[in-house]
């Protein structure tokens, strides 16, 4: 057994999903993981791949978009060569992350069917780790430096403005000329240098890190190392001041990790998104919510546990009308505010109610019901297998499914990543099937989404 982990961006993680149709007689031991691996790669590339390539390209070379029309034939050839290297490097990175996630998927699937790791399985992971004392010290020192660097840089968000100035801006501020000799020759020389150095392993690592500023690629040449570190420290202080007060409290230090992931929860977080304490660890990450909304596109959908609106906002982009229900009036007000930031509040009807009572008394008949009930807080992660009948709030999964099917035969269910898969399949009913998407951000599974009902479940 092997498990792989690859550090990548906190602000814009790579999203993969592994999809499988399950029935009561599903044989996971003969599961064709390679076919799932290939399908996941193809779906990722169609949905995200090209967009990510272009986004990272324009982030690294912002001048390309502005000057592309004025390039001569020699410059165009150099840019094309640089683009091809960019595509190859990123494709290799994304493929590696998928391969690591794929192995973890196999292990996660085994656990969800009640197959626990044995001591022998764990020993296999360490068979080849016979480092000398000198090597262990070196690795420990490197890991410590990397941890310090990651902790410092993790505060830098994708949507935050870099404090560095490039050389040309500095010259302008000093009132000095910004070009000497032929500007075209200088640009061509710079482009050749970029093309020659694009295969550098350090630069390749920078490509996958969304929170690296463009200026950092050339920090050594510009002599900004000490100043840049000081700016980062200043920025850390500024960002710490922006954190909610309860996160800065000594007793809530564990909540800081959710703050670092804020842009993966809402890409427009810095435009005024509002979350209460509970929502920081219960809101659906935006990429997962967007994928779910694609699968559940319809005329009318009910979001039974709306919370602060992560799913409802995305449903508004694919559905004609969204009924968002929550028992907490404060959360509902935040959801409405957040929906206005995304410009979709006019498509969502926010209802302050208890879904358990709403489902019994309403005459509404939506096309689909979406369930994302509370999981009982972060402590669900401590369980090896999450019992969806005993631990979901306010009631078990079977009761929620029964209420939902009174409204619609089609149901989507958002569940913890460690849910008991036998119980998830049993919700389908005798002789029926369900489809489960295991949602991965980078190499780590964060949740699973199950689909029930004819028309939602795709055939194998």
Residue 301 belongs to what H/E stretch? strand 300-303
The whole-model pTM stands at 0.73
Place of tokens 């501020």: 173
Upper half-sphere CA count for residue 309 (Cβ side, 13 Å): 32
CB contact at 8 A, 338 and 274: yes
Residues 6+ apart with CB under 8 A from 324: 303, 306, 309, 312, 332, 335, 348, 349, 350, 351
Reported confidence tier of residue 157, pLDDT bands at 50, 70, 90: very low
Q: Does 149 have pLDDT greater than 50?
A: no
CB contact at 8 A, 112 and 419: yes
Residue 361 structure tokens: 């008394």
Distance (Å, rounded) from C-alpha 131 to C-alpha 115? 31
- Where exactly does CATH 3.40.50.150 map onto the chain? 277-452
322-351 per-residue burial string, b: 16 or more CB within 10 A, e: under 16: bbbbbbbeebbebbbebbebbebbebbebb
Residues 203-225: tens digit of each pLDDT: 444 433 434 433 443 444 444 45
Q: Phi/psi of residue 23, each to 5°?
A: -135, 175
Residues 236-295: tens digit of each pLDDT: 566 666 778 777 775 666 777 888 888 889 999 989 999 998 898 889 999 999 999 999
Q: Does 359 have pLDDT greater than 80?
A: yes
277-452 to CATH, choices 3.40.50.150, 1.10.1740.10, 3.40.1160.10, 3.90.1150.10: 3.40.50.150
Residue 120 DSSP class: H
Q: Is the dihedral of CA 438, 439, 445, 447 positive or negative?
A: negative
Name the residue with higher pLDDT: 124 or 265: 265
Nearest to 387 by CA among 19, 112, 116: 112
Residue 368 belongs to what H/E stretch? strand 368-371
Distance (Å, rounded) from C-alpha 52 to C-alpha 94? 10
Least confident stretch, 57-66, 91-100, 200-209, 269-278: 200-209
Pairing state between β 434-441 and 300-303: unpaired
């Amino acid at each position: 057994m092997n498990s792989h982990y690859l550090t990548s961006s906190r602000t814009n993680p790579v999203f993969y999903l592994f999809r499988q149709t399950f029935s009561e007689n599903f044989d996971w031991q003969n599961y064709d993981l390679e076919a799932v691996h290939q399908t996941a790669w193809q779906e990722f590339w169609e949905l995200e791949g090209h967009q990510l390539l272009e986004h990272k390209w324009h982030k690294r070379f912002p001048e390309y978009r502005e000057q592309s029309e004025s390039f001569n034939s020699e410059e165009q050839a150099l840019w094309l060569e640089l683009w091809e290297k960019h595509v190859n490097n990123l494709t290799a990175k994304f493929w590696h992350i998928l391969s690591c996630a794929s192995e973890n998927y196999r292990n996660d699937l085994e656990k969800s069917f009640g197959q626990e790791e044995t001591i022998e399985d764990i020993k296999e992971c360490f068979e080849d780790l016979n480092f000398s004392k000198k090597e262990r010290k070196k690795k420990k020192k490197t890991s410590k430096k990397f941890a310090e660097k990651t902790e410092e840089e993790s505060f830098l968000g994708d949507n935050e403005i870099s404090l560095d100035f490039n050389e040309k801006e500095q010259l302008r501020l000093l009132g000095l000329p910004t070009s000497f000799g032929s500007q075209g020759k200088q640009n061509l020389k710079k482009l050749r240098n970029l093309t020659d150095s694009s295969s550098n392993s350090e630069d390749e690592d920078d490509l996958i890190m969304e929170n690296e500023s463009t200026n950092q690629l050339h920090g050594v040449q510009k002599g900004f190392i000490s100043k840049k570190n000081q700016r980062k420290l200043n920025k850390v202080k500024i960002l710490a001041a922006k954190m909610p007060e309860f996160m800065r409290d000594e007793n809530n230090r564990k909540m800081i990790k959710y703050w670092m992931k804020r842009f993966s929860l809402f890409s427009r977080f810095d435009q005024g998104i509002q979350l209460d304490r509970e929502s920081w660890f219960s809101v659906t990450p935006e990429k997962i919510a967007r994928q779910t909304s694609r699968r559940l596109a319809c005329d009318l959908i009910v979001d039974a546990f709306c919370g602060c609106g992560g799913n409802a906002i995305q449903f508004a982009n694919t559905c004609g009308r969204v009924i968002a229900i929550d028992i907490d009036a404060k959360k509902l007000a935040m959801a409405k505010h957040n929906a206005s930031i995304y410009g979709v509040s006019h498509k969502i009807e926010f209802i302050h109610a208890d879904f358990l009572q709403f489902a019994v008394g309403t005459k509404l008949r939506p096309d689909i019901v979406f369930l994302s009930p509370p999981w009982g807080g972060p402590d669900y992660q401590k369980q090896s297998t999450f019992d969806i009948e005993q631990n979901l709030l306010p009631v078990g999964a079977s009761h929620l499914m029964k209420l939902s099917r009174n409204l619609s035969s089609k149901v989507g269910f958002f569940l913890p990543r460690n849910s008991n898969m036998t119980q998830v399949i049993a919700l389908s009913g005798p002789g029926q099937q369900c489809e489960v998407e295991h949602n991965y951000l980078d190499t780590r599974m964060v949740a699973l989404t199950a689909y029930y009902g004819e028309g939602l479940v795709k055939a194998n």
